[in-house]
Structure 1
């Protein structure tokens, strides 16, 4: 058995209350046996969807570089096997992440970079538009694994996705830029009551493709932090399965669906029935309560190999 410890440097947002960004990603990785060192791109009281707003601080690129320089000074940057990035709010911060990645790869050429290009959803872009060309031209070519949603794929590739064929064609755009593994975490290509996830892996002459139909839960309730959770679980299971992409997707979705199911048990029945509006607090994922389902995912939904 290898004595190498999987250690992730996770650069994402942080909230004091709730589960998005690092709060959504760190615990699942730890439960699955990964050491996680996290740098918080922002520290907010709660996520930005709460009706009375939020308070907090935003880390700038100089502060990010300063924190990372402390890791380098103590040779701690040599320990990382993975870099995971999520929400970033400004262009210069995103470019500093690229600098950090290059430093990490200078001491570990096999480091795996998992990029969740958090830019928007449902046709709405919620980061500055200046981030898009930086992701497209500077960050994506550095990534080993990318986990965008359908809207983010459309933004990056400038391709409209109306059919499954469109999605696979868009995935090839990422492969052409050197990304080995592309996981579209959710798309609206399924039926009205389901989502479709698609994953493609290309490494030299080896290639794998698979897809999965995922039933929607919660009668239209939208949960925050699910994309962050997907990226962290996908990172873990690619490593734990030796890049068996079908098994990775099945385990990732098994845990994700279990977390949503658990969360729904805490939401009042009148809210689930649509009689009362759901609050932001009620939509917070019950990740800690789902520890067992994260640690030992019970695979019910199977993917189809393409």
Structure 2
């Protein structure tokens, strides 16, 4: 499998491609990373250095890949955080070029906008761009609960309302929706859930909620789920594998006392997920 991953990069820590590439490689996926920013660290620190890469330069890198004649070998285009609205046009164009070369290729979009605690943390134009232009051309999207609500104009909180919101998102274009954080009022205390919905049904999985925030875990989840789903075509299996790997990555990070994801230290959990959580069909 080959994945063209168009995302940010940081030198210190693990977000964007700096979070997604190694776990994908560890499960045997060939990754072609294209960077949209090249920062010293993620912006959660409040200070960082390094350039935003211009849309023209990002497009130029993709054109160079195309000139090597490899777009027909790409199975998946994956995108995450978009630093500026011009990058959206580049991604949409890249998806069109890849699908022209390989009609079986799919586009997986992680519509990064924010979360319930922090609100939106991207430029004001980005959520509108994602909703109106990027998500409609995606095959797979991996929003958190907050992002799903914004995309669909709904308020997902129960299983039923989250399913309805996922269906509303699927009506926009993507056939598969992975909701990476489902926090419903009637769940067991100190737990969090992930849900996936596709044409064949809907499944949910529950894990302990670890008491800390780790930047980049959503990027890892989006990457691993996309690869597992593309490889197996089985949403429940992909959800189980992804949940197991990401939970153990977060557990390892929490136990380390470090702020940044312990991405390398957790590598066996990507290659050999423990499959310790039960996936339940909800539709």
TM bin, normalised by shorter chain, reads: over 0.9
Matching of residue 251 in structure 1 with residue 241 in structure 2: yes
Residue aligned with 1:199, SS: strand
- Give the whole-Å Cα distance in 1 for the aligned partners of 2:155 and 2:256: 37
Tell me, what secondary structure is at the counterpart of 1:39?
strand
Partner of 2:265: 289
The residue number in structure 2 matching 1:82 is 76
Separation (CA, whole Å) in 2 of partners of 1:54 and 1:175: 36
Q: Is the 8 A contact 1:95 1:134 kept in 2?
A: no
d(CA) in 2 for partners of 1:174 and 1:243? 20
Report the equivalent of 1:104.
Answer: 98
Runs of 4+ in structure 1 displaced over 4 angstroms? none
Aligned to 2:36, the other structure's residue is in SS state strand
Distance 2:134 2:45 in 1: 30
Q: Which moved more, 1:39-48 or 1:123-132?
A: 123-132
Equivalent-residue separation in structure 1 for 2:58 and 2:225 (angstroms): 25
1:275 is matched with none
Does the CA-based 8 Å contact 2:71-2:102 persist in structure 1?
A: no
**Aligned-pair distance for 1:212?**
1.1
Q: What is the Cα deviation at residue 19 of structure 1?
A: 0.7
SS of residue in 2 equivalent to 1:211: strand
Q: Hey, what does 1:221 align to over in structure 2? A: 212
Question: Contact (CA 8 Å) 2:245, 2:273: kept in 1 or not?
Answer: yes
Q: How far 1:122 moved relative to its partner?
A: 2.0
**Aligned-CA RMSD value:** 1.2
SS at match of 1:299: coil
- Alpha-carbon distance between aligned partners in 2 of 1:146 and 1:33, rounded to the nearest angstrom: 22
Provide the C-alpha distance between the structure 2 equivalents of 1:13 and 1:35, rounded to a whole number of angstroms: 18
Q: CA deviation at 1:66?
A: 1.2
Q: Please state whether the residue corresponding to 2:78 is helix, strand or coil.
A: strand
Question: Counterpart of 2:43 in 1: which secondary structure?
Answer: coil
- Structure 2: tracts of 5 or more residues without a match: none
Whether the 8 Å contact between 2:7 and 2:36 is mirrored in structure 1 is: yes
Alignment correspondent of 2:201: 208
1:187 positional shift: 1.9
1:27 paired residue number: 22
- Deviation for aligned residue 1:21: 0.6
Equivalent of 2:114, from 120, 132, 141? 120
Aligned partner of 1:60 among 54, 57, 65: 54
TM-score, normalised to structure 1's length?
0.88
Which structure would you say has the larger Rg? 1
Alpha-carbon distance in 1 for matches of 2:16, 2:132: 24
Is the Cα–Cα contact under 8 Å of residues 11 and 39 in structure 2 kept in the other structure?
Answer: yes
1:15 & 1:127 partners in 2: Cα distance? 17
Name the SS for the 2:32 alignment partner. Answer: strand
1:272 aligned partner: none
In structure 1, what is the Cα distance between the partners aligned to 2:238 and 2:157?
26
For the Cα contact (< 8 Å) 2:151–2:169, is it kept in 1?
Answer: no
